[in-house]
Structure 1
Amino acid sequence: MHDIQQFLADLDWVVHSPSLVDLPGYGADTPLIDISTVDPQRLAEAVKQQKSRFLGPYFETLWRFSIEHSQSHSLLAHGLQVTDEKRTLGEFDFLLQDKASQAIIHQEIAVKYYLGVGLPAPADTDQKLNAADCAWFGPNSIDRLDLKLHKLVQQQILLSDRRESQETLKRLDINTPPAKQILMKGYLFQPLNDDLPAPAFCHPEAAFGRWLPLESIHQLEPISDRWAILPKLRWLSRARSSVDHTMDFSVLRKHLLEANGRPMLIAAMKPESKEELTEISRFFVVSDHWQDKAVESLEMSPLTSFSRYNPLPPQSI
């Protein structure tokens, strides 16, 4: 897919894809923007100005563009740091204003990809797993969904409650506490041959894929004749590609084996037209020892309360 077409598809995904989580009291406004009216060149310029090759900054750039060109909201600040005399205390991801109500909003945003693992159950039980019996890890097996939610709710979104933050906001003529909103988008990946309970606070329309260890890749062969390996900046919207930028399973298998267990996101493709193929499903392929390493990490960093459904702390006013 051409860069500009990719940027437009990713912008549409950033604005309209379902959230990963549904946190009561922290639901996020979505900028009202008609993607069909977006100037592709202005979007391309905005993306290229941010220069980073990491997914997070790319996601933030697209979200900022959606606010700046929306009919419903105005951007007040992006990446606004709060400092005292000696150190940085935190940073507001986004401050925006609802054009209709004039309400000020503080948004913390993230794009995340988590792989679900069922935790070992006691030998004397045959009960089905529930959300608290599962952990959702990032592809690096270090990052976790419950840890990220804990940080968002207990730390990042509370930034405006600090005295230093209120002084920073006053310099923008913001004299009342902003509403607090959390936006997390991305994908959750179930094990290839298992359906785990959805994680706590999972949005009912969250997007799911599958994950598998390298030793199980033969199970993918019947799914599709054509495949694509997705670099990080193509992890957002559904993959589209010309035939010559896809591969058959034998070539895919060769690439995966050469990666030697490094996590790789791949997409099964189907023909959309004579010239283009479209993603039908996506899979994370990880090392054969990935799950063991992930579970072992829980000994050093146990699951937080955000692995279970609990009332969230009330917002401070």
Structure 2
Amino acid sequence: MIGHPPTFSTKLVRDLAWVIASPPIQSGHIENTYWWDHDKCQNEFQDCLPTLLELDKDPSPLEQHLSQAKSKRLGHRFETLVSYWLSISPNYELIQQNIQIIEDGITYGEIDFIIKEISTGKVIHLEVCVKFYLGTEPYKNPYRWFGTNTKDQLGKKLDHLLTHQSQLSNNHEGYFSHKIDVLKNQQIDERHCFIKGRLFYPEGSKISPEDTTDNHLRGSWIYSNTIQNTDKKYLAINKTLWLSELNYKDIIDLQKNPVEVFKDRAQCYVEIGLDDHDNLKEQRRVFLLPEAFTFPSDNKNPL
């Protein structure tokens, strides 16, 4: 399993499987926070597989759940899929989610999930996110990996998860015992995080940012003017298709109903080819950048 379970016919179920099985970008125990690793996600996938197979036959419960997402933004879609995962996992009980921390009229942030590990009874504060970053020199520096909004950086996001988001339950512990009924007389035993997504490398580069996992998902970025004389085929995709791999039917649908192409901004594409049976298949994910696109200057925290 490489994070793209290919056996599910329904794209939404494939997205859920991707959310569960795909390798995190960072893992390990950092300070007082445990970052989920690939093995843990793979075990979760195997434990959830019977339910995923049933959903592929009838995805209506998942469709209904996704309709409750706070918005259509990719981050909210991801969190909603994570909440469904936690609700079907035999290893966790989902206690509470999207808890705003408001004290003395000040909003300090929002906790993604409070879950209980069934085997140990531990109450866990879990923070999750999905991100897609493009890298530039020096590649080992996580602050040189940018989102399509270049104010969004891998280094910034990891710092925010580690020092702020995951510490909300630690810094505002009294809030739980007084404000949240389901957590009264309980304490947060552990703080966990995972960040999933994909890192896009410039053609020819294999240098990863420091402290990222070896098996994180990868794509490429290239300037759009460099593909004018190539026989490779690319299809633009919108954010709702950024998670799991496209199958033959998805590609045919996309060819019939292409998404709008923007020449003046970075845009995600799939490079398509043929499999052993001459069916269309996704080869890789690629960001095409307009010729005028430039990355911010080499500062740790560019504005």
TM-score greater than 0.5 by the shorter chain: yes
Query: 1:315: which partner in 2?
Result: none
* 3-state DSSP of counterpart to 2:10: helix
Deviations 1:163-215 (A, max 9, x none): 444434575235223311111000000002x3142111211110000001222
1:68 matched to 2:87? The reply is yes
Q: Is the 8 A contact 2:29 2:35 kept in 1?
A: yes
* 3-state DSSP of counterpart to 1:118: coil
- 1-structure distance, mates of 2:299, 2:120: 48
5 Å matches for 1:41-190?
41-50=60-69, 52-119=71-138, 131-132=140-141, 135-163=144-172, 164-167=174-177, 168=179, 172-173=183-184, 175-190=186-201
1:21 matched to 2:26? The reply is yes
Q: Among residues 222, 240, 253, which one is paired with 1:245 in the alignment?
A: 253
1:214 matched to 2:224? The reply is yes
**Larger C-alpha radius of gyration, 1 or 2?**
1
1:267 matched to 2:270? The reply is yes
Q: Among residues 33, 42, 49, which one is paired with 2:48 in the alignment?
A: 33
Q: Is the 8 A contact 2:142 2:209 kept in 1?
A: no
Query: 2:213: which partner in 1?
Result: 203
Deviations 1:43-90 (A, max 9, x none): 011112226221001101111001111111110111011111312222
Q: Is the 8 A contact 1:269 1:278 kept in 2?
A: yes
- 2-structure distance, mates of 1:237, 1:10: 5
Q: Is the 8 A contact 1:238 1:278 kept in 2?
A: no
1:295 matched to 2:303? The reply is no
* 3-state DSSP of counterpart to 2:76: helix
- 1-structure distance, mates of 2:125, 2:202: 35
Task: Pick closer, same or farther for the CA change 1:65–1:276 going to 2, 3 Å.
Answer: farther
Larger mean Cα displacement after TM superposition, 233-242 or 203-212 = 233-242
- 1-structure distance, mates of 2:248, 2:264: 25
Structure 1, unaligned runs of 5 or more: 120-129, 304-317
* 3-state DSSP of counterpart to 2:155: helix
Task: Pick closer, same or farther for the CA change 1:16–1:165 going to 2, 3 Å.
Answer: same
1:6 matched to 2:11? The reply is yes
- 2-structure distance, mates of 1:118, 1:196: 12
**Could you state the TM-score of these two structures normalised by the residue count of structure 1?**
0.78
Larger mean Cα displacement after TM superposition, 268-277 or 21-30 = 268-277
**Moved beyond 6 Å, runs of 4+:** none
Q: Is the 8 A contact 2:176 2:184 kept in 1?
A: no
* 3-state DSSP of counterpart to 2:288: strand
Query: 1:314: which partner in 2?
Result: none
Structure 2 counterpart of 1:33, one-letter code: C
Query: 2:6: which partner in 1?
Result: none
Q: Is the 8 A contact 2:116 2:122 kept in 1?
A: yes
Task: Pick closer, same or farther for the CA change 1:174–1:147 going to 2, 3 Å.
Answer: farther
- Offset of 1:112 from its aligned partner? 0.2
- 2-structure distance, mates of 1:133, 1:93: 24
- Offset of 1:117 from its aligned partner? 0.1
Structure 2, unaligned runs of 5 or more: 1-8
* 3-state DSSP of counterpart to 2:129: strand
**Backbone CA RMSD of aligned residues:** 2.9
- 1-structure distance, mates of 2:70, 2:248: 24
Q: Is the 8 A contact 1:229 1:265 kept in 2?
A: yes
